[in-house]
Structure 1
Amino acid sequence: MNLLKIQHLYTAYDRIDVLEDVSIEVRQGEITCILGANGAGKSTLIRSILGLTPANRGEILFKDEDICRLPSHQIIERGIACVPEGRKVFPRMTVDENLSAGAYLVKDKRIIEERRAHVKALFPRMAERSTQLAGTLSGGEQAMLAISRSLMSSPDLLIFDEPSLGLSPLFVKENFKIIKEINQMGTTVLLVEQNVRQTLAIAHRGYVISKGSVVAQGNAEELIANAEVQAAYFG
């Protein structure tokens, strides 16, 4: 079953198409990756899904509903969350306050506390840093907080935008391990990355975007074996 299906999507900035006829499918329960170099259109695709940069043409179907013309807050309400590039935690708020911000749509305090306990079990460091200002955390800890905050909305689809960016190799490895664990617990993942080796090690299926168009697709094994992908990413 497709949780997210994008069909013939065109998105433009200043009348210049950045995405051209992009079609992708994200199957429920899987990790689907979007690979591509800087400027390929990956971030524009995320912004289109979230309603931040509305598409000019095409469909974005989430749970069989076209969300292409919905405002961002209504898209989030339907069960999509994003861990943004560069973490973007609230630096002058504590860890716990950041977590609460991730559950701003939830009115039941009991549910909020249950989710807080869940993410702190997944990230024990967040329990240790509960009252610490987010801006004083290390880069790796801020990455953990950004993921924890996104999980507070209990999303059906969690989008990761370049989760390895700016992290040490140790934290990159830990991040990908956590993404796999989150998926194994039942959350569907759309992973947008440049780190091809680590991404294809955990992804079920994926797409390669170049100059705003899909140039290759398939399961992880097929992408690893693809001659164009090998030439571009594996030398």
Structure 2
Amino acid sequence: MALLEIEHIYTAYDRIDVLEDVSIKVEKGEITCILGANGAGKSTLIRSVLGLTPVNRGKIIFNGVDIAHLPTHRIIEAGIACVPEGRRVFPRMTVDENLSAGAYLVTDKKVIEERREHVKHLFPRLAERSNQLAGTMSGGEQAMLAISRSLMSSPELLIFDEPSLGLSPLFVKENFKIIKEINQMGTTVLLVEQNVRQTLAIAHRGYVITKGQVVAEGSATGLAENAEVQAAYFG
């Protein structure tokens, strides 16, 4: 069953279409990946889902409701969260304050504390740095915090935008392991990445975007074996 259905969307900047007739399904409980080079339209797709760059045509159906023209805060309330490219933590706030910011829609303090303990179990290093300013942490630690902050809203769908960008190989490997664990615990994942090998290793299904259009789709295994995908991304 599809949790998110993107149906024939067109999104433009300055009247020039960036996404043209893009259709994508994200099945509930799975990891769906979006692959493509820089400038392919991946970030515009995320912005369209989040309502930051509204679509001109088409539908974005989440849990049976068309959210294509809802404001971003309503989309977040519906159950979508995003770990943005470049992490973007609040540098002058502590780890715990960043986590609380991720749960700004939650009014029950007990629930907030339970979720905080849950993410610290996922990332023990954050438990050791509860009162540390986020801006003084390493890039890998900030990545952990950005993921944890997004989990504080307990989203049904978690979008990752280039989670490996700027990280050491060790932290990239750890990040992908955590993404897989988050999915196994019940959160549906939309993973937008350039790191094709590691992405297809954990994804269930995927789509390849080139110049704002879907040019290939299928199971992760099928995409990994696709001759054109191999030529473009595996050399």
Task: Please indicate the TM-score interval, normalised by the length of the shorter structure.
Answer: over 0.9
**2:68 is matched by which residue type in structure 1?**
C
The count of residues paired between Structure 1 and Structure 2 equals 235
Q: Which residue of 2 aligns with 1:121?
A: 121
Question: Does residue 1:153 correspond to 2:153, yes or no?
Answer: yes
TM-score by length of 1: 1.00
**1:178 is matched by which residue type in structure 2?**
I
Q: Which residue of 1 aligns with 2:221?
A: 221
SS at match of 2:92: coil
TM-score by length of 2: 1.00
Superposed, 1:31-50 pairs within 5 Å as 31-50=31-50
**d(CA) in 2 for partners of 1:71, 1:171:** 34
CA distances 1:84-128 after superposition (whole Å, capped 9, x unpaired): 000000000000000000000000101000000100011101100
**d(CA) in 2 for partners of 1:193, 1:143:** 15
**d(CA) in 2 for partners of 1:14, 1:202:** 36
**1:98 is matched by which residue type in structure 2?**
N
**d(CA) in 2 for partners of 1:7, 1:152:** 29
4+ long deviations beyond 2 Å = none
SS at match of 1:93: coil
**d(CA) in 1 for partners of 2:158, 2:171:** 19
Superposed, 1:101-120 pairs within 5 Å as 101-120=101-120
Q: Which residue of 1 aligns with 2:196?
A: 196
Q: Which residue of 1 aligns with 2:144?
A: 144
CA distances 1:172-223 after superposition (whole Å, capped 9, x unpaired): 0000000000000000000000000000000000000000000000001110
Report sequence identity in percent. 84
RMSD value, Cα: 0.3
CA distances 1:142-191 after superposition (whole Å, capped 9, x unpaired): 00000000000000000000000000000000000000000000000000
**d(CA) in 2 for partners of 1:221, 1:151:** 28
- For structure 2, which runs of at least 5 residues remain unmatched after alignment? none
**d(CA) in 1 for partners of 2:180, 2:166:** 20
**2:190 is matched by which residue type in structure 1?**
L
**d(CA) in 2 for partners of 1:125, 1:208:** 35
- For structure 1, which runs of at least 5 residues remain unmatched after alignment? none
